[in-house]
Amino acid sequence: MILQQHKIVFAGTMGAGKSEAIKSLSEVDVVSTEAINTDISFNDKMFTTVGIDYGELILEDGTKVGLYGTPGQERFDFIWNIICKGALGVIVLIDHSVEQPIQHLDFYLNYFKPISKNIIIGITHLDKKSSYSTAIYREWEASQLPPRNPLFFIDARKKQDVLLLIDTLITNTEVQLEG
């Protein structure tokens, strides 16, 4: 039985690094639901998440935080609502190297905004070749109405980068509780 005090969901595009982010933080063996990728047209990676990944982060005060990863493919969206119930918030990861990353960002934000008031954005794969500069995200941010979602450029394999997203999400939770 999985017992955690809090829950954080990782969502976003296929191949954005949701599973890697959870692996970088988890202090328990990650439960992974990866299977052979049959959607090669979108992403040529060998395996992809088809269920729910699970890891656990234990904070300095002993608080357990469940880390839940969703599949990125839209055909699995029925899982997204279920997994978000009771979550502190959602970390949306967007693969910068995909075609039209802003459209993907808009899609995931529009999907998750009615489900969670606490969404943090991480842009990944800045090390891969892309047709777009990172300036597209600043332009996109400028076009958004307040309140805006915090946006960071991260490497999902690096624990400190993912901790920045977690810290921001927890801080947002505390601010929302006070307000």
| Sheet-wide strand order for 151-153 | 53-58, 64-69, 6-12, 89-95, 119-124, 151-153
CB 156 within 8 A of CB 18: yes
Mean pLDDT rounded to a whole number for the chain = 86
Residue whose entry in the numeric block shows the structure tokens 């801080």 = 171
CATH number of the 6-178 domain: 3.40.50.300
HEC-encoded secondary structure of 36-57: ECCCCCCCCCCEEECCCEEEEE
pLDDT (tens digit, 9 = 90+) per residue, 113-134?
999 999 999 999 999 888 899 9
Q: What is the pTM of this model?
A: 0.87
Q: Tens digit of pLDDT for each residue in 46-73? A: 555 556 789 999 888 888 999 999 887 6
